[in-house]
Chains A and B, each alone.
Chain A
Amino acid sequence: MNLHLSSEHIAERLAGGGGFEAQRHEAACPDCRAELARMQTALEAFRRSVHAWTDREADIKIRSQSSLFAPHRPACPRLRWALASAVFALVVFIPMHKAAIDRQREAQAAEDALLLERVNDHLARRAPLAMEPLSELQSSSMISLQEDQGGLP
């Protein structure tokens, strides 16, 4: 028979369990009682110190956060801002650029139409530009000849 509680029995007692035999031995054996008391004191001191320390840390963390659900430490705030600016610039400047291109196209189309009209006018002439005064002269002499011959019916 063992003189003292085994490591397993002590662990069981510390964990809050332990059979009747272990409890009886503990009551009778000052060494085992002292060992259990020492461990219980150490575990209790550990528990209290961890509580005190983490409560202090949690308090600091909670106070430092404006909202508990605020995004935690963005990977790179500058990068986020740069991305947001780029997106904003794209959203604003793309429609503006598109409108400018459309305006340019419309002006070009109007210019083309005007040019086409002038070409059509040019083609519609009966004589080349250099001979136009002659053709006018010819047509006026034809009219005066007709008048001299007795006039129009």
Chain B
Amino acid sequence: MAQTISPELVAARIDRPLVEIEDFDRVVEAYWPRVFRFVLASLRDRDAAETLTQDCFMRAYKARKHFRGEASVNTWLMRIAVNLVRDAARNRKLQFWKRTRSGAVDPAEILDCIPDQGASPEGVALMREQVAAVWSATEALPERQRTVFLLRFVEDMDLLEIANVTGISVGAVKVHLFRALHAVRKSVGRLR
């Protein structure tokens, strides 16, 4: 039996992002962890991640009147976050002498967060090595490849969503992702 969708339901679905954006406190509450996760995983600096996440929501708040609901709130916010991360990465490149970051993340902290799920000690050790390899490989990636990789494998976005967020074509997303995966595979492959 074919399902019919009422026009009201269609309109409600289209307007959902617009309705969602009206309660901005709720938007912050719902999306803050996600944006913070992406920014922190990209920059690996707590202070910078906190500042940029706040900046992201400030920009979104100021620009909320211009939000037309064409994309989801998540896509819209992630687009702002991606731009901020890109700018921060560029600035950091220019300020190459400022390498000593006060909020820099210790990779051991991430390894301590690996859920063991009842694995054997050997299994946990292997998982720690694999995660460390992926972590160090992604750190060495160029900014665009790292962004695409994190959006795909940490944020679970599909290629079209990544293209929308980054503002590049799906083909270009694929190229960046394949290059990133090649580098990560090489890093994980060394464990054998």
Interface positions of A (Cβ within 8 A of B): 7-8, 10-12, 14-17, 38-39, 41-43, 45-58, 61-62, 68-69, 72-73
A45 touches B127 (CB 8 A): yes
For B, the interface residue count at a CB cutoff of 8 angstroms equals: 44
Interface majority SS on B: helix, strand, loop or mixed? helix
Q: Are B28 and A68 in contact (CB under 8 A)?
A: yes
**Within B128-151, which residues are at the interface with A (CB < 8 Å)?**
130-131, 133-135
Chain B residues positioned under 8 Å from A51 (CB to CB): 37, 154
A58/B130 in contact, CB under 8 A: no
Q: Which residues in B have their C-beta under 8 angstroms from that of A49?
A: 110-111, 113-115, 131
Interface presence of B32 (CB below 8 A): yes
Chain A residues with Cβ below 8 Å from B163 are none
Residues of A within 8 A of B131 (CB): 42, 45-46, 49
12 contacts between A and B (CB under 8 A): A39-B184, A41-B130, A42-B184, A45-B130, A49-B110, A49-B111, A53-B109, A54-B36, A57-B40, A57-B46, A58-B37, A61-B50
Closest to B119 in A: A45
CA of A45 to CA of B46, assembled, Å: 22
Inter-chain CA distance A7–B111, complex, in Å, is 27
**Contact A11:B181 (CB < 8 A) given known A49-B131, A52-B115:** yes
Task: For the complex, give the distance between the alpha carbons of A82 and B161 in Å.
Answer: 49
CB distance from A16 to the nearest CB of B (A): 7
For window 53-94 of B, CB contacts with A under 8 Å fall at: 54, 57-58, 61
Distance in angstroms between the alpha carbons of A90 and B49 in the assembled complex: 39
Extra A-B contacts (10), CB below 8 Å, given A41-B130, A46-B131, A68-B54: A17-B159, A39-B181, A39-B185, A39-B188, A42-B134, A47-B154, A49-B113, A52-B113, A69-B28, A69-B57
Q: Which residues of A contact B41 (CB under 8 A)?
A: 50, 54
Say yes or no: is B169 at the interface (Cβ < 8 Å to chain A).
no
Query: With the chains together, A39 CA to B36 CA distance in Å?
Result: 26
Residues in A whose Cβ lies below 8 Å from that of B33:
54-55, 58
| A12-B178 contact, Cβ under 8 Å, with A45-B127, A46-B131 | yes
